[in-house]
Amino acid sequence: MIDVEDLIALIRNYNPRTNADLIRDAYEYGRRMHEGQFRHSGEPYFTHPVAVAAILTEMRLDDATIITALLHDTIEDTRSTWTEVSQLFGREVADLVDGVTKLTNLQLSGAHSKQAENFRKLFMAMSRDLRVILVKLADRLHNMRTIKSMRPDKQLQKARETMDIFAPLAGRMGMQWMREELEDLAFKVINPEARNSIIRRFVSLQRESGDVIPKITGDIRAELEREGIEADVYGRAKRPFSIWRKMQEKQLSFSRLSDIYGFRIITRNEQDCYRTLGVIHHRWRAVPGRFKDYISQPKANGYRSIHTTVSGRDGKRVEVQIRTRQMHEVAEAGVAAHWAYRDGVRTENPFAVDPGEWIASLTERFGEEDHDEFLEHVKLEMYSDQVFCFSPKGDVIPLPKGATPLDFAYAIHTRLGNSCVGAKVDGIRVPLWTRLKNGQSVEIIAASGQRPQATWLDIVVTGRAKAAIRRSLRQEDRTRFIRLGSELVRVAFEHVGRKVSDKALRTAARTMALPDTDELLARIGSAEISSHDVLTTLYPELAAVSSEIDARRAVAGLEADQEFTRAPCCSPLPGERIIGITYRGKGVVIHAIDCPVLAEFEDSPERWVDLQWREGQHPAAYSTKLLLTIRHDAGVLGRICTLIGMQGANISDLEFVDRKPDFYRLRVEVELRDREHLHALLTALEAESDVAQVSRIRDPSAHVT
């Protein structure tokens, strides 16, 4: 474990004005709080907070962040409290420690819905102070470096969480070195065989051709010296996971993989970057399509550099990165550069972007997106590489790789995206699903009457576009659902000889704890509430009479104390031949005699009960599901609902299965009297010109277990 004086010496290397006494106090307080606690490896637990603090000194971070690292587990794992930390070390440190504690308690790799909610909490904490995530990333890095002492199942869980969340987050924060190390440490746990295979291939390659890195480095230095360019040149083999990812993406074997070596040239100024590029391309042949200028077009996280791939010594492809010293510091430190110190003064790096900009762009939409949408948006933002396109005015619009003209339109303004009807790329009309490339000029064609289509969700890739489209569709759906709900309620009321009124709807909405009648109708139209629920809320006697008749008279062959339910797999109707199957605790479940589920009970004849429907008039109370394909046109859905009502059937549920520009496919649950009633309804629907197809739904997978 690093001694406190050694830790202070590390801090003084970049911040001579550090408050050494406060660091000593924090070190001693943390050591005392964690006394008697041990890690899985058997080491004293306090070795971990000290190691995290040491990692943060490599980023030259301020005293408050270093102290937070020393205390980051005290509130969670010891008798320490926020109040005590605040009194001893100040509110700033107490709030940072509390923020890290809350991040530690978030389960980011659990069930999807919980993960989505916790992602939102993660970004809320980051938006308050980004130093919280810097401590958390350093905490995760040390845990991954020492992961061997954990149980194998715990190792795998932590490694997957690191690969899926913390590594890409570090990259999005501009801390590429940390991303690469986290990925490789996680890769070592998730797929050790693949990693070892790549390392073995490296060793074999070096044995065959020697260590090419010093040779190529020497070649580059010689060329630069010849042109009088002062620069530092570094070379390295890429990390195993980086190589593995390229092998997977390009579906190449190791022997066919190029540019497994990377070289970095650090120049004195920006002008020398472009001079160096000219020297490299003059000496070695550039690989087409592998040049990126992130100096003139920086990445969203502030990263600036020139990337090019050339055929180097012996025809081996190598990647070359060219940047200035300041650009290099940004690339290494990322957002940490905003709290970094040099010679006791906080550094102001002119090339670093505002670290809160990306977080702010996400958090400002917290109220507009649900948890799942937010999770999808964040993951898209974290994993995406970028392309840069131009508007007709020459503005540069950064977009993730794979973006389309629709994403471009929404990136400019939501109104432009909503009204988009077409696009021109480099002056040529293209489909909206075209994938944009670097440097293309995009012109959006808009029309005032256009509205977003549901199919657009499959076209766009940016979270901003997806959120805007969903928001517009929800509003459009609400209007349609209100109209549909009105029709469903009217038909339901007429079916029982009642007349719907505004007063009745207001009473139902109030009784069902809904804000107004529009919300009631929208929920009926979207199948969240059935019109039957509204009827029974206003007229409870209808439901009571109906259930009394069902239970007493519907089926013959049951014992006096036996109850029955209809099997959801076949939903038999009066008039159809039926058989009963007994279930412990569930009474008798009746199936249609031709239900395929009955084959499962052939070896249990003692469970079979001979039943039949009673003759006579049954109430329209037996739910049956129909699958309809209808024309997508104004008023069609309302006419279909009216037609069903005219046949004496009540719609109890309705769900859209598929929406296309020219047709709708929907699942409708109707309440019928018997088989003849079903036949009459199907005949009427098949005769309707707006109905392309109608069938009864029977689902063997839905049987009782």
pLDDT, tens only, 65-121: 999 999 999 988 889 999 999 999 999 999 899 888 877 766 555 544 455 556 666
Residue 544 binned pLDDT confidence (cut-offs 50, 70, 90): very low
| Residue, of 398 and 48, whose pLDDT is higher | 48
Residue 45 binned pLDDT confidence (cut-offs 50, 70, 90): very high
Domain architecture of the chain: domains with CATH: 4-190 (1.10.3210.10), 195-346 (3.30.460.10), 362-472 (3.10.20.30), 500-611 (no CATH), 622-702 (3.30.70.260)
DSSP 231-289: EEEEEEEPPHHHHHHHHHHHT--GGG----EEEEEEESSHHHHHHHHHHHHHHSEEPTT
Q: Single out the residue of 347, 341, 352, 348 nearest to residue 61, CA to CA.
A: 341
CA–CA dist 510, 517 (Å, integer): 9
Range among 408-412, 448-452, 461-465, 600-604 with highest mean pLDDT value: 408-412
Q: Single out the residue of 350, 337, 60 nearest to residue 176, CA to CA.
A: 337
DSSP type of residue 620:
S
What's the pLDDT score for residue 555?
A: 86
Q: What is the mean pLDDT of residues 449-466?
A: 84
Radius of gyration (C-alpha) of the chain in whole angstroms:
34
Q: What is the mean pLDDT of residues 419-432?
A: 91
Burial tier of 380 (Cβ tally within 10 Å: 0-12, 13-18, 19+): middle
CA–CA dist 322, 305 (Å, integer): 6
Tell me the three state secondary structure of residue 653.
strand
Q: Do residues 362 and 123 make contact, with C-beta atoms less than 8 angstroms apart?
A: yes
- Phi then psi for residue 535, to 5 deg, are -60, -45
**Apex 472 CA angle, 469 and 478, nearest 5:** 135
pLDDT, tens only, 582-596: 887 778 899 999 888
Percentage of the chain with pLDDT > 90?
25
- Would you name the residues annotated as active-site residues? 76-77
What's the pLDDT score for residue 380?
A: 52
pLDDT at 366 over 80: no
pTM: 0.56
Range among 214-228, 350-364, 460-474 with highest mean pLDDT value: 214-228
Tell me the three state secondary structure of residue 111.
coil
Residue 271 binned pLDDT confidence (cut-offs 50, 70, 90): very high
Say how many CA atoms lie within 13 Å of 292 toward its Cβ.
18
Residue 549 binned pLDDT confidence (cut-offs 50, 70, 90): very low
- Helix (H) / strand (E) containing 613: strand 612-613
Q: What is the mean pLDDT of residues 671-693?
A: 88
Tell me the three state secondary structure of residue 40.
coil
What's the pLDDT score for residue 493?
A: 81
What's the pLDDT score for residue 353?
A: 57
| Residue, of 299 and 366, whose pLDDT is higher | 299
DSSP 273-307: HHHHHHHHHHHSEEPTT--EETTTS--TT----EE
What's the pLDDT score for residue 551?
A: 46
What's the pLDDT score for residue 227?
A: 92
Please report how the helices 152-161 and 131-145 are oriented relative to each other, as an axis angle in degrees rounded to 10.
Answer: 140
Which residues, listed in sequence order, are joined to residue 321 by a DSSP beta bridge? Answer: 264, 307
**Beta carbons within 8 Å of 479's beta carbon, 6+ residues apart:** none
How many other C-beta atoms lie within 10 A of the C-beta of residue 593? 12
* C-alpha of 399 from chain center: 18
pLDDT at 406 over 90: yes
Q: What is the mean pLDDT of residues 39-68?
A: 92
